[in-house]
Chain A
Amino acid sequence: MELSGAEIVCESLLKEGVEVIFGLPGGAVLPLYGALSKYPKLRHILVRHEQAAVMAADGYARATGRVGVCSATSGPGATNLVTGIASAQMDSIPIVAITGQVPRAAIGKDSFQETDVTGITLPITKHNYLVMDVSEVAPVIKEAFYVARTGRPGPVLVDIPKDILLDERTEFIWPENVSLAGYNPPREAPAEQVAQAVKLINEAERPIILAGHGTLISHAYDEVRELAEKAQIPVVTTLLGISSFPTDHYLNLGMPGMHGMAYASLAIDKADLLIALGMRFDDRVTGRLRDFAPNAKVIHIDIDPSELNKNVKATVPLLGDLKMVLGQLVPQVEANVHMDWLHYIDALRVDHPSTVIRETDELLPQFVLRELTKATQGEAIIVTGVGQHQMWAAQYCAFLEPNTLITSGGLGSMGFEVPAALGAKVGRPDKTVWSIAGDGGFQMTMCDLATAVENNINVKFAIMNNGVLGMVHQWQDLFYEKDYFSTVYTRNPDFVKLAEAYGIAGIRVKEKGEVAEAIQQAMEIPGPVVIDFVVKADENVFPMIPAGESVHEMLEEPTPERTA
């Protein structure tokens, strides 16, 4: 039987095991929606803004490890996806975005709602496609999912002209496999290079593991833990690697870098070996490169060859899938105790505690986050926005299971917290999901509270409301002579009334004593809730290594002249 292009899209999505699509229709993509309505197995969640569709797909992908799917119409619908696609690309998130395009005959004529979306997304997708024949629909979708989820994952966009969706028909033939001559994700690393790495590990006196996002993507957490425990090697986790190693593990030093634990950064400074796993030596991790880990040799394992020797020279680069490479490597590593090194690090922890919450009657965001972690016992999925609250969540929340911290790390896209939390909850309905928001970011995407309500997506939103664009404000405070130009919101909406306007509960918390109860109350309500935590406005995130500087320039405490 011949099917329309739109029906072939639906059949293909079913073949890929897709269960949910986040999207918003429009003229060019409407034929797809006409078909979707006849495929009840493909749940479509209608959003209020396309940015929410792509970021929800992102949250879904991060929470489940599966490919997130979103759709939008041509022109403005497609361009509204751009920020979310860029974020997914930076953080290696598998997404397939399907966009409608104007009919083939109208392409290139500046037609209504026409944009060159494959051109626009070229540098921010892993790959993209403009489908120009109905016979290509099924193979392209198969290829798109394959490319999105394999190797170093990433977003793939498929742009399909309206006439192919609507008018063109062909037999639905699902290809058996994908054959891409120029695309062969690496698996195991060469044995002799692994042996070189093993030798370095066995000889090291002050080794450190840097576990990045690749640890989660490759499901290598057990192997990382085995390596750490076998040879007693302390572990630091990058922002995106945080939930790959339990926060409460005695070898976990937390996050290093700009707002990382002082002892983690100081330990890297003293280390004689870095074992970098699925991470890319981002500038927020390294600071000034020439001062980064000056005493260390580097073993760098990554699946993307272009990450090896990009920022930091690897003594032993290992190209491969992290789980497989560790499977080769860990059995050859000798048991070790590194007693002196661990004692040294323990002393660093005592001298540079990094996460002490000072005694005050004021409501500090750090205090709120610690209470939240107590209430959820580190088992909730925490989805953050970007800025101060994101860093505090990374510092003060506990993460005991993989994929429980969901955050826009590379792109640092504010507004991520609302839609990504929706996607995470849709993907993991069994988990408690908290969206930790800033009042700035929340207002970028809060229109999709309606999506949460409409679909009863049970996300708890905790706004760290300080009335300022906190991280920018902090930079003004520390580096721009306290010129707080354009970072203060003098008239925020009443977030409690706003929640009520959306038909959900809103709770305002101004006092420390109310925090625990409000969190408990929110968790007992069987649906989305907004808590407006009115927190201290001019609190800064410490420790801080200023941009482009090194661990030696780290600010650990708010010194008097640095406190507003």
Chain B
Amino acid sequence: MSDKEQKHTIVALVADKPGVLTRIASMFRRRGYNIASLAVGQSEQPGFSRMTFVVEGDEDTVNQVTKQLDKLIDVIRVSDITGRETVARELALIKVLATPATRGEIIQIVNLFRASIVDVGTQSMVVEITGEEDKINALYNLLEPCGVIEMLRTGVVAMVRGQANGQVTDDVGMAVIQ
């Protein structure tokens, strides 16, 4: 089995029923898979939600994750979109200490990142940023010296560009070894 650990982005269309999230989370826990991030929300089809998972592991492990996900009755379709041309976005709210001495610097950083300030208090500000994971990490690193009080991230949502919708589970791990 290969030992190359890599981040995989998996998108799943699931039935919007009570307990679906529990079923999925329980499967991850039971089989010892780690979810690096998880985002869930309505899809374009009524009665169905779409979830985006970021999972870390070697290829065999991630193949198992997608197959085990697909095995759940309430999961309609699973696609591993890793390595595809994708649009991936995450939203973060960062509450940062803002004294009169640091306020200007924070505003400069925020503008540089095209982020926005959505709340200003006497001692703090809340910054909102949308972007890829790296961009959010970079902003956080710059704000950190000022003193981050709280951060909240939604987890990545991702979509394949153009018409394609990624490799679906039916093909995963089904190749003939030549």
Contacts and interface: CB of A to CB of B under 8 A. Distances in A.
B73 A317 contact: no
B164 interface: no
Nearest to B27: A123
Interface in B11-38: 14-15, 18-19, 22-23, 26-27, 30
B64 A183 contact: no
A456 B170 CA distance: 49
B90 interface: no
A306 B64 contact: yes
Contact of A305 (B19, B27, B76, B173): B173
Given A309-B60, A309-B63, A182 B15 contact: yes
Given A123-B26, A310-B64, A182 B75 contact: yes
B23 A309 contact: no
Contact of A122 (B23, B71, B75, B169): B23
Contacts of A182: 14-15, 70, 72-77
Given A147-B73, A182-B77, A317 B174 contact: yes
Contacts of A306: 64, 67-68, 70-71
A196 B176 contact: yes
A22 to B, nearest CB: 25
B30 A315 contact: no
Indicate the member of A122, A313, A315, A316 with the most B CB atoms within 10 Å.
A122
B152 interface: no
A319 B19 CA distance: 29
Contacts of A183: 73
Given A118-B19, A147-B73, A304-B71, A123 B177 contact: no
A512 interface: no
A180 interface: yes
B19 to A, nearest CB: 7
B76 A181 contact: yes
Contacts of B60: 309
A325 to B, nearest CB: 13
Interface string A121-165: 011001100100000000000000001000000000000000000
Nearest to B15: A182
A193 interface: yes
A374 to B, nearest CB: 44
A119 interface: yes
Interface residues of B, number: 31
A308 interface: yes
Interface in A278-326: 304-306, 308-310, 313-317, 319
Nearest to A156: B73
B173 A309 contact: yes
Contacts of B173: 305, 308-309, 317
Contact of B174 (A118, A181, A304, A319): A319
Contact of A119 (B14, B22, B75, B172): B22
Say what secondary structure dominates the interface of chain B.
mixed
A309 B174 CA distance: 8
Given A118-B19, A122-B23, A305-B67, A127 B73 contact: yes
Contacts of B175: 317
Indicate the member of A119, A181, A319 with the most B CB atoms within 10 Å.
A181
A117 to B, nearest CB: 13
A161 to B, nearest CB: 14
B177 A305 contact: no
Given A122-B22, A122-B26, A306-B68, A180 B73 contact: yes
Contacts of A316: 176-177
Given A122-B23, A182-B77, A305 B30 contact: no
A207 to B, nearest CB: 17
A147 B72 CA distance: 11
Nearest to B13: A182
Contacts of A123: 26-27, 30
A127 B27 CA distance: 12
Nearest to B77: A182
Contacts of A122: 19, 22-23, 26
A317 B174 CA distance: 6
B70 A315 contact: no
Nearest to B76: A182
A110 B19 CA distance: 19
Contacts of B23: 122
Contacts of B169: 305
Contacts of A308: 173-174
Nearest to B45: A181
Nearest to A310: B64
Contacts of B70: 182, 305-306
Contacts of A119: 22
A434 B114 CA distance: 76
Contacts of B64: 306, 310
B46 to A, nearest CB: 13
A305 B176 contact: no
Interface in A32-83: none
A72 B111 CA distance: 63
Nearest to A132: B18
B30 to A, nearest CB: 5
Contacts of B14: 182
A315 B15 contact: no
Given A182-B75, A306-B71, A310-B64, A315 B22 contact: no
Contacts of A181: 15, 76
Given A182-B15, A182-B77, A304-B71, A313 B26 contact: no
A20 B155 CA distance: 50
Contacts of B77: 182
A485 B134 CA distance: 57
Contacts of A118: 19
Given A193-B176, A308-B174, A319-B174, 20 more contacts: A122-B19, A130-B19, A182-B70, A182-B72, A182-B74, A196-B176, A304-B71, A305-B71, A305-B169, A305-B174, A306-B64, A306-B67, A306-B71, A309-B60, A309-B63, A310-B64, A313-B1, A313-B177, A315-B176, A317-B174
5 smallest beta-carbon distances between A and B, as pairs:
A306-B67, A182-B76, A309-B173, A127-B73, A315-B177
Interface of B: 1, 14-15, 18-19, 22-23, 26-27, 30, 60, 63-64, 67-68, 70-77, 169-170, 172-177
11 contacts: A122-B22, A123-B27, A126-B73, A130-B19, A181-B76, A305-B70, A305-B169, A306-B68, A306-B71, A308-B174, A313-B177
Interface of A: 118-119, 122-123, 126-127, 130, 147, 180-183, 193, 196, 304-306, 308-310, 313-317, 319
